[in-house]
Structure 1
Amino acid sequence: MTARSTRRSTATHPRLAAVGAIAVAGALLLTGCGDQTKDKTNDSGSASSGAPLAGKLPQSIRGKGKILVGSDIAYAPVEFKDSSGKAVGLDPDLAAALGKQLGVTFEFRNGTFDALLTGLRSGRYDIAMSAMTDNKDRQQGIDPDTGKKVGEGVDFVDYLTAGVSIYTRKGDTQGITGWSDLCGKKIAVERSTVSEDLAKAEAKKCPAGKKLSIEPFDDDQQSQTRLRSGGVDAASSDFPVAAYAAKTSGGGKDFQIVGDQVSAAPYGIAVSKESGQLRDALKAAMDAIIKNGEYQKILEKWGAQDGAVKESVINGGK
């Protein structure tokens, strides 16, 4: 969820590189972020020998014919559930395209964002793909609040660039035009995201008597609900998500983005550092769909074309 340190931090999910106006894909935002169930539309099976890059996958993945994906599926338009319960959005579409190159299906399993890397470490997922910002803390397993090492870290296959935005109720900005205007206000964020990291950093700058109150939630939909009800003055998400919410929630009457995007950074597919072969196979597949044009078509479908990259990079986050 930018990244959601939306960037979702890490944990951090940022989201500046101006990802363009978000397309309305016609699907309603649905919650269901913590049920740990798989997307029932995906099937398993052995890897297809006809896929051009199938041979690059580890035998363990080729044998089961699928890649298990940990994702917070409540972050439209990057990933969310449609009215039938199917995982849809930018990430599922990209995953399907990668699957054609690798000869496997990508099976999305729902979880809260702050638990995705834990699930990856425990073997519940093969990868995490959830608008997750690639940064050094996550690569090295560092807690951004304490600066202490809490895990072995992960590798990232980067595939998009995005920034973080603030939004308010439409017509009720409370004088907020950017992060420096939040002192004395209340803001809703998704837990363990870059948005939460940015809010914490801003709170340290506030003078006595003008405290910035931060309300973290398990998913972005809860943040939106809190803002919509008037419980907070603002919320923050990656720009693609904030823009989609502003365009679709209440028919475009609920929210408005205020100020500029900040903290531009790459989204990456998280892979265990012990899974170098899988990481390299994903990079090769991502480069293939960038080259054949399928990547660009998917980004345009979801209004994210301004965040396009020319090639995938391993651990490009700073």
Structure 2
Amino acid sequence: MSTLTRVRRLAPALAAGALTLSLLAGCSSGVSDAGAETETSEPIPTESVDQALHALLPESAQSSGILKVGAPYALKPSIFTDDAGEPEGISVDLSAALGQVLGVQFEWEETADPVTAIQSGNLDLSMGYLSDSPAREQVLTMVPQFQNTSTLLVPAGSTITDITSMCGKVLAVVSGSQQEKRANTVSSESCGSDPVQVTAFPSPKDALTQVQSGRADAYVAPRMILQGIVDTSGGAFAVTDANYPDYPFAMGVTKDNVDLAKALAGALQKLYDTGTYTQILQKWDVADIALETDQIGVNTGSTAAFPVNQ
């Protein structure tokens, strides 16, 4: 693919502790080496500009030819850094293809808090890091990028297989998350008088620390996030085979910038129709996270098009 994405680093590389936190800010790869680029992947074809979609872009983007996009560079394989510290991943490749359709360049910036950066006008959008949930749609307008499922992070050698196998055990969750609601439901339906001890924490970092310290037996979160932790844990952790539907990872723009969201959704649909979207996912060996055509659109993550809402 001809690269249309420009990179501007506004923050220093994340330290190890910040990297762990970013990984946990919450897609199912279905493979143990999620994020490894496929050596035999075919070149991604070049897309033509869609003038009607280009006309939906903000005037500032039309005049400058740039859309500013940001995220923490720590969610493998969606957005992370290469050996030179530059961003790469599914979202970087997808932004280049979207830019071809929209007739602009996507200029990447690293930010630890994309929601605030979007709302303050420092970014036009974020990609591949935010989930399209009903709560998120209260503050941003969302366009799903790919599927997302959750699973359990457990110490290596653990006999835990899913939430139903955790009756009487401690499960760490993030307070107010979809995973907390699901864990409580599963516990009440399956564990009777010996419920799962669902323990909520204010941040992903806090929840992960519980498993690392042995104070919790497992942590439930999006699979893609947890797989990244496993891949860098030196064999200390594993993920289970359980898959729980979750809200899709998505592109986010300001609440009132619906035209930009429509432009992004329209461009994504074109990439879907031409097969470029699938080729990008195949390049990263995660074709199983592809959206269905009825899932592409504006704020569709909270609709019945996704299993989490069914």
AA at the equivalent of 2:232: S
Contact 1:162–1:239, Cα closer than 8 Å, also in 2? yes
Tell me, what secondary structure is at the counterpart of 1:158? Answer: strand
1:82-109 deviations in whole A, cap 9, x for unaligned? 2211111121221121112122222233
For 2:131, the equivalent position in structure 1 comes to 133
1:202-257 deviations in whole A, cap 9, x for unaligned? 899997997443445466xx8667645646432333122333444x3356x23222
Tell me, what secondary structure is at the counterpart of 2:248? Answer: strand
In 1: Cα distance, 2:194 partner to 2:30 partner:
38
1:248-284 deviations in whole A, cap 9, x for unaligned? 3356x23222251113332221122321221111112
AA at the equivalent of 1:160: F
Q: TM-score, normalised by structure 2?
A: 0.70
Q: TM-score, normalised by structure 1?
A: 0.68
- Give the number of equivalent residue pairs: 265
Residue 224 and residue 209 in structure 1: after superposition, are their counterparts in 2 closer, same or farther (change >3 A)? Answer: closer
- Does 1:169 pair with 2:169? no
1:38-96 deviations in whole A, cap 9, x for unaligned? xxxxxxxxxxxx73343442221122222122313212122112221111112122112
- Does 1:263 pair with 2:242? no
Contact 1:79–1:89, Cα closer than 8 Å, also in 2? yes
Tell me, what secondary structure is at the counterpart of 1:84? Answer: coil
Equivalent residue runs for 1:9-158 within 5 Å: 13=26, 15=27, 19-21=29-31, 23-26=33-36, 51-53=49-51, 54-112=54-112, 115-139=113-137, 141=138, 153-158=139-144
Equivalent residue for 1:249, pick from 197, 214, 232:
232
In 2: Cα distance, 1:276 partner to 1:286 partner:
15
> What percentage of aligned pairs have identical amino acids?
24
Greater shift, 18-27 or 85-94, is seen at 18-27
Shift of 1:166: 0.8
In 1: Cα distance, 2:207 partner to 2:116 partner:
23
Contact 1:69–1:125, Cα closer than 8 Å, also in 2? yes
Equivalent residue for 1:282, pick from 264, 268, 281:
264
Greater shift, 208-217 or 120-129, is seen at 208-217
Tell me, what secondary structure is at the counterpart of 2:147? Answer: strand
Residue 132 and residue 196 in structure 1: after superposition, are their counterparts in 2 closer, same or farther (change >3 A)? Answer: farther
In 1: Cα distance, 2:196 partner to 2:148 partner:
30
For 1:150, the equivalent position in structure 2 comes to none
Query: Which structure: greater helix fraction?
Result: 2
Contact 1:52–1:101, Cα closer than 8 Å, also in 2? yes
Shift of 1:116: 2.7
In 1: Cα distance, 2:81 partner to 2:187 partner:
34
AA at the equivalent of 1:237: A
Q: Which runs of 5+ in 2 are unaligned?
A: 1-20, 38-47, 303-310
Q: Which runs of 5+ in 1 are unaligned?
A: 28-49, 142-152
In 2: Cα distance, 1:204 partner to 1:73 partner:
38
Contact 2:34–2:286, Cα closer than 8 Å, also in 1? no
Residue 245 and residue 302 in structure 1: after superposition, are their counterparts in 2 closer, same or farther (change >3 A)? Answer: farther
- Does 1:315 pair with 2:299? yes
1:90-132 deviations in whole A, cap 9, x for unaligned? 21221121112122222233333xx432332221221122332
Contact 1:77–1:241, Cα closer than 8 Å, also in 2? no
Contact 1:188–1:227, Cα closer than 8 Å, also in 2? no
- Alignment root-mean-square deviation, CA: 3.6
Contact 2:128–2:145, Cα closer than 8 Å, also in 1? no
Greater shift, 86-95 or 226-235, is seen at 226-235
AA at the equivalent of 1:249: T
